Amino acid sequence: MKRGWKQIPIAAVSWINSTEYKTGSWRSFRPIVDYEKCIKCMQCWVYCPDLAIKWNGEEINVDYDYCKGCGICSEECPVGAIKMVKEV
């Protein structure tokens, strides 16, 4: 018998925004920004699910305390200015 959504067991969901606790230690890969390639389109900022991309008015920066290394910023960058590098 195929199970429907009503048969899925209830699970805990965090009600705390990811900016309220540091999640950067979960990361296997970290985004590195090539500022010479960056066109400041802010697509990385728009798509970052953890609000780890910061804009200081001149350039983007990654807040590694909150970045989980998902790579969405790298995938969404239209000019390839963000590369995912393995953590050491």
pLDDT value, residue 26: 80
Give pLDDT tens digits for 18-65.
667 787 788 899 999 999 999 999 999 999 998 999 999 999 999 999
The distance from CA 4 to its chain's CA centroid, rounded to whole angstroms, is 31
Asked if the 23-86 domain carries CATH number 3.30.70.20, the reply is yes
Q: What CA–CA distance (Å, rounded) separates 41 from 61?
A: 13
Q: Report the SS3 class of residue 71.
A: coil
| Whole-angstrom distance, CA of residue 20 vs CA of residue 4 | 34
CA dist 44 and 21 (Å) reads 21
Decide which of 24 and 77 is more confident. Answer: 77
Q: Give the start-to-end residue ranges of the domains of the chain.
A: 23-86
Per-position b or e across 9-27, b if 16+ CB within 10 A of its CB: eeeeeeeeeeeeeeebeeb
